[in-house]
Amino acid sequence: MSENLNKNFIDHNEYPQTEVIHHRCVNMLARLFNCPTECTSIGTATIGSSEAIMLGLLAHKWTWKNRRKQEGKAYDKPNLIFGANVHVCWEKFAKYFDVEMRVIRLEKDCYTIIPDRVAPLIDENTNAVGAILGTTYSGQADPIQEVNDLLVRIKQEKGWDIPLHIDAVSGGFVVPFTNPDFVWDFRLTQVKSINVSGHKYGLVYPGIGWILWRNKVDFPEDFAFKVNYLGGWVPTYTLNFSYSSANVIVQYYNFIRLGREGYTQIMRNCVENAQYLSQQLAASGKFKMMNEAQMLPIVALTLKDTIQNYTVFDISRKLRERGWIVPAYTMPPHAEETAIILVVVRDNFSRDMADILYKDMLQACDYLVRYAGEHREEEAQHRKHPIC
């Protein structure tokens, strides 16, 4: 990293081998996500997944717009369909780039999108549907294959070729190694673009993300710019222009050093530690699992209905005293009565640390029960002997 921090990634003329390495990373990711051999996939590194998502959705908007122009139809009212379980950058994209949001709301005990709720929102102005492999809120995966099948039927019946964009920010570097038979990627015909985060389970420092398109034909030609003021003709289609080459080089270093075997070992270890922690906490009788499938190394828990004298927010505050930063939050509107505590298991989170966290969480619960009892006694004494 120290050797490459000062190298500007966009300057391909001065650092040509960095661009070669960049293309190798894109090629490796395309094959990791099972891009068909007959397709000419393209992609690019980004500052993070937010930029990657916006680029993917922008390309789909322009592809839809160009097609509508060729058909002599209006192209001023594009819409985008996604669930309320998305990262905030999806809403930013819709607002910043003037696309109507058609948000599928979540409800209690249903925290992902389902095809039956996607279908009524689709029309000829839908330029993309979004699905998530590992939601920000609970770590669950949307039913990607079922949504793809819905879009295939619509294409056959109405002729609307609607792309499916997969936000694999959390799962893109996990599922291909831990559950390679799970179909979510370019094996599905309507999956036209995928974004993934290099600085999460890609094992690189912030910030780097990746966006890949299934085929070059899925990418509008007028979306790219060519500039020559760096000494040679340089194509660019990212939202940012200048940034350091370091994270691209480190991503490549990890790909080469760890390989498929190394990533598989690391990700399986992460998932197994997450499953271990989940089983321990579920067996305590105090918590209910939110993501039973446990595809990702994410532990999402809510308190059982029988727990009334403290909340997940109380547990989160108490854990901070022991040095744990474990967020607690409510689900999106229409499901906000559910409050979650979330543990993201990283590659340096050992089985021993899982045991320590488990004990600290139970001790926090025990303390909160005692504190709540003492607090109720104080209130009772206050009612008997009020201070004048």
Kindly report, residue by residue over 37-74, the tens digit of the pLDDT: 999 999 999 998 999 999 999 999 999 999 999 999 99
Side-chain-facing half-sphere of 268: CA atoms under 13 Å: 10
Kindly report, residue by residue over 249-306, the tens digit of the pLDDT: 999 999 999 999 999 999 999 999 999 999 999 999 999 998 876 789 999 999 998 8
In Å, what is the CA distance from 75 to each residue of 61, 92, 157, 217, 220?
A: 10, 21, 22, 20, 15
Tokens representing 313 are 């927010």
DSSP code per residue over 5-34: TTSBTT-TTT-HHHHHHHHHHHHHHHHHTT
Distance CA 287, CA 16 (A): 53
Tokens representing 249 are 């080089």
Angle at 288 between CA 282 and CA 291, to 5 degrees: 100
Share of the chain above pLDDT 90, in %: 71
pTM, rounded to two decimals: 0.90
Contact 326, 97 (CB under 8 A): no
Backbone angles phi, psi at 308, to 5 degrees: -120, -20
pLDDT given for residue 383 in this prediction: 42
Kindly report, residue by residue over 122-135, the tens digit of the pLDDT: 999 999 999 999 88
Is the per-residue pLDDT at 380 higher than 50?
A: no
Ordered domains of the chain (ranges, CATH): 16-258 (3.40.640.10), 270-384 (3.90.1150.160)
Mean pLDDT, residues 182-195 taken together: 97
Tokens representing 329 are 């939050």
Taking alpha carbons only, the member of 317, 357, 311, 364 closest to residue 338 is: 311
